[in-house]
């Protein structure tokens, strides 16, 4: 049991999940492979425009297989008329439907611009080449109070209607209905931007939102809107809201709307567990500094397993890989990024993710249970202890509790944690920070904060 990437290994051939940004994943039933598509980016590799592709049979062992778009599609997507051509494409999402593979990807006038396009390209193979079918939504010539046409994701509602969810900063997150047979705009008008479903609350100190996606839980029929807030540095995060219909409204646990009232429930942010032997390549001067800025994530239901996962990018928090701002009031950023896959569970109808990256482990070994924590020591009910021998009080435990209104870096604590009436699931995972097996716990506190915990010591 081991995860799919190693920190401090900056070679994409040896470490295929290195350099993956804004990733998404699809399962291809025809080949039995999982395919991941990501933003055009390179740190140590040679740069090429055209949407990089990675594939895997088990969501752990990936290989880099090339680029998705044809040369003709790249040329079309780059064309900005009288303005300089787009230098890279962002945030692709691919699905198989109507007998074809459809890729939605973003092309923007320039970094930070609100003038962008979301293209649809199609192929008869998940590895391409993908050829452009047309522009689905176009935000060129619009003001900054309207959405930016980037970060596409597709969701089908319970009646088979197809929607595009998209947007970044500026006017917020929007939902637009598509024509199922072609995947293009239902009204054949790419300048129809759709309807807003999420927007930053007035006065929020956190930037965003962006990187949105929607999934429907087939067990309870609810819809979940995932999005990221923050700048691509230490304060980047992953959040969620729940809705009864695909159009929303999406709300947090207190019933506040994500469209101007709430940032949503924070599922993950920058964090650091205790690390004695991290899963990393040895290197002079490098030391573990936690993970920074997990975000721009996509949930997916793995049909062969009947299990939920979440894929996102994350940055290595080592001090030696920190880029200091050129200006005094600038923000720190972190250079090296990777794709991370996590198991995702539903606790009392709300999604929660494993505190550790997926390493091939089995699903959670418990149903949702009640949990109290007294000075860092968990107290489990007797019926849970009898059915889950992995939950033992004599382990040393550490905990992270994410606050919904605070995006600062969090360090795990062994003591000083007092929680009453939390709810969680538990299972065996790979302790990335110590390169051994551990017990993992993930869930929510009574007041709606995400709870992560794990055992230490490797004695399970």
Q: Is the predicted pLDDT of residue 404 greater than 90, yes or no?
A: yes
Q: What is d(CA 158, CA 292) in angstroms, rounded to the nearest whole number?
A: 36
Measure the N-to-C terminal CA separation of the chain; round to a whole number of Å. Answer: 14
Q: Is the predicted pLDDT of residue 288 greater than 70, yes or no?
A: yes
Structure confidence at residue 140 (pLDDT): 95
pLDDT band for 366, please (50, 70, 90 cuts).
Answer: confident
Q: Which two tokens stand for residue 84?
A: 């300089």
pLDDT band for 458, please (50, 70, 90 cuts).
Answer: low
Q: Which two tokens stand for residue 255?
A: 């019933």
Structure confidence at residue 460 (pLDDT): 62
Q: What is the percent of the chain where pLDDT is above 70?
A: 97
Q: Is the predicted pLDDT of residue 323 greater than 90, yes or no?
A: no
Structure confidence at residue 365 (pLDDT): 81
More confident residue, 301 or 460: 301
pLDDT band for 380, please (50, 70, 90 cuts).
Answer: confident
Read off the pTM.
0.96
For the stretch 96-137, pLDDT in tens is 999 999 999 999 999 889 999 999 999 999 999 999 999 999
Closest CA to 421 of 382, 447, 395: 447
- Mean pLDDT (the chain, rounded): 94
More confident residue, 383 or 201: 201
Closest CA to 135 of 194, 183, 99: 183
Structure confidence at residue 151 (pLDDT): 98
């Amino acid at each position: 049991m081991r995860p799919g990437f190693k920190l401090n290994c900056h070679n994409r051939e040896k470490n295929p999940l290195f350099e993956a940004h804004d990733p998404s994943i699809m399962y291809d039933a025809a080949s039995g492979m999982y395919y991941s598509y990501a933003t055009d980016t390179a740190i140590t590799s040679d740069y090429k425009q055209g949407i990089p592709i990675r594939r895997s049979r088990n969501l752990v062992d990936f290989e880099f297989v090339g680029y998705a778009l044809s040369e003709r599609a790249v040329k079309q997507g780059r064309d900005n008329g009288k303005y300089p051509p787009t230098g890279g494409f962002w945030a692709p999402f691919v699905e198989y439907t109507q007998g074809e593979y459809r890729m939605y990807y973003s092309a923007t006038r320039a970094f930070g611009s609100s003038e962008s396009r979301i293209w649809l390209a199609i192929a008869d193979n998940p590895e391409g080449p993908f050829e452009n079918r047309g522009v689905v939504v176009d935000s060129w010539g619009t003001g900054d109070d309207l959405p930016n046409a980037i970060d596409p994701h597709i969701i089908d509602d319970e009646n088979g209607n197809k929607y595009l969810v998209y947007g970044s900063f500026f006017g917020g997150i929007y939902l637009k209905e598509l024509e199922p047979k072609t995947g293009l705009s239902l009204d054949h008008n790419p300048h129809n931007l759709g309807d807003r479903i999420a927007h930053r609350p007035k006065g929020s100190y956190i930037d965003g939102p962006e990187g949105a996606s929607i999934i429907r839980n087939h067990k309870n029929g609810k819809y979940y809107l995932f999005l990221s807030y923050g700048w691509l540095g230490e304060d980047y995060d992953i959040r969620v809201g729940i809705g009864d219909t695909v159009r929303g409204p999406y709300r947090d646990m207190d019933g506040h709307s994500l469209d101007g009232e709430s940032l949503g429930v924070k599922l993950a942010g920058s964090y650091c567990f205790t690390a004695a032997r991290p899963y990393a390549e040895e290197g002079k001067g490098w030391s573990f500094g936690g993970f920074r800025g997990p975000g721009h994530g996509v949930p997916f239901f793995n049909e062969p397993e009947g299990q939920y996962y979440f894929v996102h990018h994350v940055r290595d928090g080592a001090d030696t890989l920190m880029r200091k701002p050129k200006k005094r009031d600038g923000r720190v950023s972190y250079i090296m990024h990777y794709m991370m896959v996590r198991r995702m569970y539903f606790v009392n109808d709300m999604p929660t993710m494993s505190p550790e990256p997926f390493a091939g482990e089995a699903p959670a070994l418990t149903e949702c249970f009640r949990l109290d924590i007294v000075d860092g020591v968990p107290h489990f009910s007797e019926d849970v202890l009898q059915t889950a021998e992995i939950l033992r009080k004599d382990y040393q435990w550490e905990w992270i509790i994410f606050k919904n209104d605070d995006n600062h870096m969090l360090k795990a604590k062994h003591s000083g944690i007092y929680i009453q009436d939390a709810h969680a699931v538990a299972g065996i995972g790979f302790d990335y920070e110590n390169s051994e097996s551990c017990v993992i716990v993930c869930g929510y506190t009574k007041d709606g904060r995400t709870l992560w915990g794990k055992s230490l010591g490797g004695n399970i």
